[in-house]
Structure 1
Amino acid sequence: MKIPVPGGYTLQGRWITTFCNQIQLDTNKINDCLKGKLIYLLGDSTLRQWIHYLPRVAKTPKFFDLHETGPFKKHLLLDAERHTQIQWKKHGYPFVTYSTYSVTDEGYIPREIDRLSGDKNTAIVITFGQHFRPFPIDVFIRRAISVRKAIERLFLRSPDTKVIIKTENIREMHIETEWFGDFHGYIQYLTLNDIFKDLNVGVIDAWDMTIAYGTNNVRPPDHVIGSQINMFLNYIC
Structure 2
Amino acid sequence: MLKIYAGCLVEHFYPETGIASAKVLRKLGWQVEIIEAGCCGFPAAASGFSDAAKKAFARLMENAAGDESIITFCPTCTTMLTHLGPKLLPGGEAEALAKRVFPFSRFIFEREHEALKQLLEGRKLDGKTTWHDSCHQKYMLQAGEASRGLLKMLAGGDFVELPGADSCCGFAGTFSLDHPEISEALLAEKLEAIRKSGAQTVAVDCPGCLLQIRGGCHRQKLPVRVRHIAELAAELCAEKD
TM-score bucket (shorter structure): 0.3 to 0.5
- Structure with more of its chain in strand, by fraction: 1
TM-score (normalizing by structure 1): 0.33
TM-score (normalizing by structure 2): 0.33
